[in-house]
Chains A and B, each alone.
Chain A
Amino acid sequence: MSALRAAVLPLLLMAAVAAAAPPSKKRFAPVVLDDVKGHAFDFSAHLGKRAIVVAFWATWCKPCKIELAALSQLYEKRKARGDDGLLVVAVSIDGPKSIAEIESFVSQHGYTFPVVLDKDTSLLERYNPRGDVPFSLVIDKHGQVVETHQGYNPGDEIALEARLEALIAEPDDSEAASKDVAVGWDVADPGAHVEGTESLQVRYLHDNYNEAPDTAGNTKNPDDRVTAILNRLTLGGGLGPFGVGVRVDNTLFPGYDRADRCTGQGLTLADCPWEDDHRIERYWVQWQTPTLEVRLGDFYGNFGQGMVFSVRKIDEIGIDTAIRGARIKLRRGPVALTALGGLSNVQNVDLISLGTLDDPNDLITGFEGQVELPHRLSVAVRGLFVDYGNPGGITTNKSDLTLGASFEAKSLGGYGSLYVEGAWIDRHTRYRSGRTTDPYGYGLYGRLSLIPSPAWSIVLEWKDYRRFDLANRQGAFGTLPAIYHEAPTLERFDQQVQTNANATGGRLLVQVKLKPADVLLYANFVGYGYLLDDSKTAEDDLPSTFDDKASHALHGYVGVEKRWSSGYYLNVSGGYRYEAPNQAAPDAMVSYLRRFWHVEADVQIPLVGPHALGVRADHRTEQKYVGKDNLKDFVRGSVAITYSLAPALSLALLWTYQTEQSIQNPKTDERIPPQWENLAGEVVWRFANWGHVSLYGGRNTGGIICVSGVCRYFPPFFGGKAEFVARF
């Protein structure tokens, strides 16, 4: 127990430091990112504006979209007055799977502020190590980050506007501002800065509803009634172009006697996933100028549309893989070059399961070269070599070499853009007998984005993948495969994708803005065939993704979106998804193919002053394929009602339901209650512009749920969670 106390102490100290830290300002470290039109956007060229709002968002994040609309209103209002004191920069963290929608989204909503791409989430990670969106920064005319804000609730923009007004109205004489800075870290040298984020979470898992029937009278239940403390401290600093950073993760399970709870009654320690863990999860040193960036230590990365290489981080949905090594980026005129190398490094404590994972430590080296040509064309070539090492057994070495190229026409005469990318994987395996095999895989992806008029936009995507899979699946570490690329799936964010390695299909998204009413209508259709079975040694033996030996997924939905300038917002959508089994072996498909009708609604209602109400609901009437001509019916959905007193407080009530899990034997076979019992509540208090606390408690059926202005993944859960986040 004293060991435990010893471990808790530094943790509490860190929290105390964080809590005592002044709401100081930190210097925004400018970076160069590509904007949605394909131009390089250099933040440093804009620092000095009286106020800059940097808003992180993603096309799959509903609250983010509403926030952007509100920010646009603020921005346009000032612009119309001829006031250029405010700049809004929308930073998209969309990854390869949703990047296709950004251009049409921006054009449809008529956003005139810069929209830049943080495809590998490296900018987000710097200012919001939690990685959740929406998240925004306010930068003053001295280039200092004076405010951070997580989440978006209607009315937040009122307080933001007041803040921006104050910044814009500040006298040119910077004396007043400098005094504030002096309490922080930027004392003598304005180029030096230290920044940090402290996130402390306490979770109490009362019951996860997964007890199996037990006829032997066993009473031990190791995975319920568990308390966990998760601490994450990120510290960064810089001087001119030089920067350093470190992230410390502590995970503690106070009072959890693993030896007692996980032995006896047929249990082994393997049944108990949770152990205290303390480690330096990320560290880096970097030299960054607009033309040269050298980084040593951990980094995220992304080439093109992710088909050859993509590792990134979004905590709330449990993605966080980095490469620990070195990366050099050169940007000179029309040419950009990147070279990288290192070992793969996953976040070792999974935030969803809280279990501890091992690092795969695969050796990864890669390069990318990109040239901008006249007429806004660009070409790129890239390659990645992954050496999985010697996996043991009769396999003495395994490696994948991936080569790819892409072509982009960023402006089709002002009517859209075209992007095509192809990649080829050579899988090399050497066996003890000396035999080597080189089965190959390939991926082709194309996107045509058409904007024939400001009112219309069309996105067409196509994919064709065969054995297109770059991942460590050797089971040498204890969890999901470590995946090193992300080929676009064409699927909506919340859809399950059985496999993307052997798949062929397309997607069409049409959006039209009805001018007089200012209403956006959208329709989306996706259809593709896929193979799950990849066991053929010869490429010719793999069936076509078009014939009846493949499975098929078809999904169409339509929706309508409208935002009134008074702050009311409405987005309603609905559709049908049809999944067809492999006709050659329909019984092999039993129990996971689904067909369902779905509806979603998202309503924001401003009340008096800073008070507002938000309602989000979704419902599915679902059928599961449990045999040929045999479908099982059930429903699932959620309703979240959020009251907010912007910007400080939000209260949410969450109801989730699903009847898929039948209750067969209530005495022994524990289930998540299907319906009315699943209520949860959440309170978020943003006590200052540098931090917030939140309390969550109750029961839910799990899934990606948008509540309190943030979308995140919830495991099926009955318990409580308290969180303290401070940025200093």
Chain B
Amino acid sequence: MRHGVMMWGGLMLGLASLGCGSKATTVDSGTAAGSETTTVGDSGVGTGGASVCTGTGVNQGDLLGDFELQTCDGTKVTFGSVLKGKKAVILDFAAGWCAPCREHQPALVELYSKYSTCGLDVVVVLSEQDQPNDPATKTFCQTWKDQYKEPFTVLIDPTKKVTSAYLQGGGLPAEVIVDPQCKAQLKSVGKFSADEVITIQELTGCQ
């Protein structure tokens, strides 16, 4: 429904953006947790009862809400179920057209192989394909997963319900590092950075 001009707004102007900025069609009021605009918690279906994700926030320090999306093979998965038993989960929002999103996928795989034994999991949420207006499909999801040989969960968000709630109109890539209590310990716009690696080390207790 949007992001038609992301590439133009963020990149073509040569603003040296590290992410795919969205100077684009959607920026909401940007209000913080608990406001009417951040409705991930109640937009999702089946919060699974036992999920610790009972909040409504989307920003750093907030308690997040649960959501349910499809994997590449169509299986419905809730975020809360992925989080269960983990020490840290990287929630990575990406799209096919977004260069830095693609570029940091190998870094996610590397991190996963290094820290998964310490309790790290990764969830990639794909909203669009190689064009800003192409909603992600199961086929695209599978191609992506195969291309980067990702052993972790890749979900599609073709209606961008979850993605837009988290991005609040901001750019891609965006990552949220979630702790076992479903609190956002770090939210970052732009490529994956050393800050995030350190946060993962802090949460998992592994160096």
Residues of A that sit less than 8 Å from B by CB: 97, 208-213, 222-223, 266, 268-273, 275, 317-319, 350, 352-353, 355-358, 391-395, 398, 427, 429, 431-433, 435, 437, 439, 467, 469, 471, 473-481, 483, 486-487, 489, 491-501, 532-537, 582, 585, 587-593, 626, 660-662, 664, 669-672, 702-704, 713, 715-716
Contacts and interface: CB of A to CB of B under 8 A. Distances in A.
Q: Is the interface of A mostly helix, strand, loop or mixed?
A: loop
Contacts of A716: 4-5, 8
A585 B182 CA distance: 33
Nearest to B135: A212
B139 interface: no
A535 to B, nearest CB: 4
B10 interface: yes
State which size class the interface on B falls in: 35 or more
Given A269-B37, A270-B28, A480-B19, A715 B9 contact: yes
Nearest to A392: B61
Contacts of B50: none
A689 to B, nearest CB: 32
18 contacts: A212-B1, A223-B26, A353-B27, A474-B188, A475-B188, A478-B30, A479-B23, A479-B171, A480-B189, A489-B16, A491-B14, A494-B14, A495-B14, A501-B16, A591-B102, A670-B133, A713-B9, A715-B24
Q: Which of B15, B22, B184 has the most CB of A within 10 A?
A: B15
Given A532-B191, A702-B8, A715-B5, A591 B97 contact: yes
B80 interface: no
B164 interface: yes
Contact of B164 (A270, A352, A432): A270
Nearest to A467: B194
Contact of B189 (A473, A494, A533): A473
A213 B13 contact: no
A275 B29 contact: yes
A496 B7 contact: yes
B187 interface: yes
Given A393-B186, A716-B5, 11 more contacts: A270-B28, A353-B9, A431-B202, A473-B19, A478-B170, A480-B19, A481-B189, A487-B16, A588-B106, A591-B130, A715-B25
Contacts of A495: 12, 14
Contacts of B26: 223, 271, 273, 353, 355
Contacts of B43: 268
Nearest to A391: B60
B73 interface: no
A398 B183 CA distance: 19
B18 interface: yes
Contacts of B189: 473-475, 480-481
Contacts of A271: 1, 26, 28, 164
B16 A486 contact: yes
A500 B165 contact: no
B11 A497 contact: yes
A535 B9 contact: no
A270 B37 CA distance: 5
Contact of A479 (B22, B38, B100, B186): B22
Given A481-B19, A496-B7, A439 B61 contact: no
Contacts of B133: 209-210, 212, 661, 669-671
Contact of A661 (B100, B106, B131): B131
Contacts of A670: 133
Q: Which of B4, B59, B102 has the most CB of A within 10 A?
A: B4
Q: Which of A467, A481, A491, A660 has the most CB of B within 10 A?
A: A481
B199 interface: yes
A499 B8 contact: no
Contact of A353 (B23, B165, B174, B188): B23
Nearest to B168: A478
B11 to A, nearest CB: 4
A479 B27 contact: yes
